[in-house]
Structure 1
Amino acid sequence: MAAYVFDGTMTGLLSCVFRAFQFKEFDVQILTHDHVQTGLFDVVVVVESNDEHGQRVWQGLKQKVSANGLRNFYYTFLSEQVNAFQHLFNFSVYAFQSQRPIDRDYGHVDVLGISQWAKQVGREKHRMEAFVRFKKCQDGLFLSLVRPDFNVLPLIERHFKSRYQDQKWLIYDEKRQYGIYYDLSQVHQVHMNPHAIDEHIETGFSQSFSIELDDEEVLYDQLWKDYFNSVNIQARKNLKLHIQYVPKRYWRYMNEKII
């Protein structure tokens, strides 16, 4: 069996699909550079990202797959999982070789796999939109550091731009070391050291990262915690049900959970 190794980008993955049809190689293992293990495959091919090839494959998928199917394809790609990349490759081959729509052919392992991955990524998107909390810095920037399971920043950009149009904000993904920054006009993708986002990041504890907060932010933090404690009914506390709706991994974003 051959293995195609790509750079982890959407263009790279689509370039793998292009090469598969170019050389009629469909029984292929899809890997990223971080997951290559020598000696396990007969042939290992490093597939370079090619914009023209990627665009041709994507335009072809648009003709073969519905809008919802393309959405699921993109969501699945954002999972960043090698198993998901394999499903996407196989799904593409199946779509191009089939003479009928395949979006709802859940009896096919790769159609089902993409649907399942898309649901997981979509769930993470909604939770980030619900649980992300901002902290006001001394320079007026509203900042939140996050660590989602999947690469959902491209998916939550529209939500936060629409909801917080009157303030500058930055949501930074610590795990992937990039963020989305809104400057009151447009949203930009930024890359930087999360421990040196600006000179205001120095001391103090908030959302599990060091930052110098605006004086009013510290007050609002405490007011919110006091309010949460005052309305909380200890006798009706159901930790198991609470964790079901608000998993512990999201508590780090919530003021009332930070001790």
Structure 2
Amino acid sequence: MTTLFYDGSFEGLLTAIYEIYDRKLGLVKLQKGEFYDSAMFEDTLKVITSDSYAARVLKGLRTKLSPNAVQRLYIAHMAEIANEENNLLGYIRYVFDSTQNIEDDYGNRFVMRVSEIVRMVRREKHRMEAFVRFQKLKDETYYATVEPDFNVLPLLIRHFRNRYTDQKWIIYDLKRNYGIYYDKHDTQFITLDFATVSKPDELISAYTEEESIYQHLWKNYFHSVNIPARKNTKLHVRHIPKRYWKHLTEKI
């Protein structure tokens, strides 16, 4: 058994695959994080992420899988679920070791697991698209905070660029401490010092004066359309889990 330590990036994962085939390793397992010395009878390998090695593996995957399947593999990696890297490893090795396309072979446990992860990540992506609430800052930038279960921020770029083309905006992931910034032309990944403050009231000095008015109107709208006789808390929580409420203006 050889344990390969990698940095957790998608490129690092693909580099690990390259090392496995280049070194002709048989029984292996991946571990995300810092390298440490193994037990007496266990071999270890520190994977140094290589863009060129990763590109070669990605090219190989594209010859064996459809573009949609390659994207699904990337999405599954973006989930960042603990201890799932070996399922992704198993999936990729199954791809390369098979003589035919395997992406619809749901009888294989690795294919099935990747499909399950992708479904969870896409569900979280759709929730973020619905639950993001922007607040206007004094520099005319619209700012929103989120704390998704999975690392879906890169998957939100196309949706919000298409929807808010003529506005500058930031969507910040407080859990992972990074965000995406759109300047009306391009998007980039950023980090912000003040983004660790999750309560809007503590950032009130950064918002425009009319922002509180808009928030008040938004809350009143939701209150006015609410019909107490039709209240179904169980159904409501199913569609909008409580963990998202602190970032929804109408719930604050």
**TM-score range normalised by the length of the shorter chain:** over 0.9
After superposition, where does 1:88-237 map in structure 2 within 5 Å?
88-195=88-195, 205-206=199-200, 210-212=203-205, 213-237=207-231
Gapped runs of 5+ residues in structure 1? none
What corresponds to 1:56 in structure 2? Answer: 56
Task: Provide the rounded CA distance (Å) in 2 between the counterparts of 1:178 and 1:80.
Answer: 15
Distance 1:205 1:66, change over 3 A: closer
Q: Secondary structure at the match of 1:101?
A: coil
* Cα offset, 1:41, TM superposition: 7.1
- The residue type equivalent to 1:80 in the other structure is E
* Cα offset, 1:54, TM superposition: 0.5
After superposition, where does 1:34-45 map in structure 2 within 5 Å?
39=39, 42-45=42-45
Distance 1:176 1:209, change over 3 A: farther
What is the root-mean-square deviation of aligned Cα atoms in Å? 2.1
Task: Provide the rounded CA distance (Å) in 1 between the counterparts of 2:159 and 2:152.
Answer: 12
Task: Provide the rounded CA distance (Å) in 2 between the counterparts of 1:195 and 1:73.
Answer: 30
- The residue type equivalent to 1:218 in the other structure is S
* Cα offset, 1:253, TM superposition: 2.2
Deviation larger for 152-161 or 184-193: 184-193
**1:137 touches 1:211 (CA, 8 Å); kept in 2?**
no
Distance 1:56 1:69, change over 3 A: same
Gapped runs of 5+ residues in structure 2? none
Deviation larger for 23-32 or 155-164: 23-32
Percent identity over the alignment? 41
* Aligned: 1:249 with 2:237: no
Q: TM-score, normalised by structure 1?
A: 0.91
**2:15 touches 2:50 (CA, 8 Å); kept in 1?**
yes
Provide Cα deviations, 1:200-226, integer angstroms capped at 9, x if missing partner. x9xx952x7634221111001111111
Task: Provide the rounded CA distance (Å) in 1 between the counterparts of 2:115 and 2:96.
Answer: 18
Distance 1:87 1:211, change over 3 A: farther
Task: Provide the rounded CA distance (Å) in 2 between the counterparts of 1:177 and 1:37.
Answer: 30
Task: Provide the rounded CA distance (Å) in 2 between the counterparts of 1:36 and 1:65.
Answer: 35
Provide Cα deviations, 1:115-147, integer angstroms capped at 9, x if missing partner. 111111111111111110100112211101111
Distance 1:92 1:108, change over 3 A: same
Deviation larger for 159-168 or 186-195: 186-195
Distance 1:38 1:82, change over 3 A: farther
**2:5 touches 2:34 (CA, 8 Å); kept in 1?**
no
* Aligned: 1:69 with 2:69: yes
- The residue type equivalent to 1:45 in the other structure is L
* Cα offset, 1:26, TM superposition: 3.5
Task: Provide the rounded CA distance (Å) in 1 between the counterparts of 2:236 and 2:249.
Answer: 16
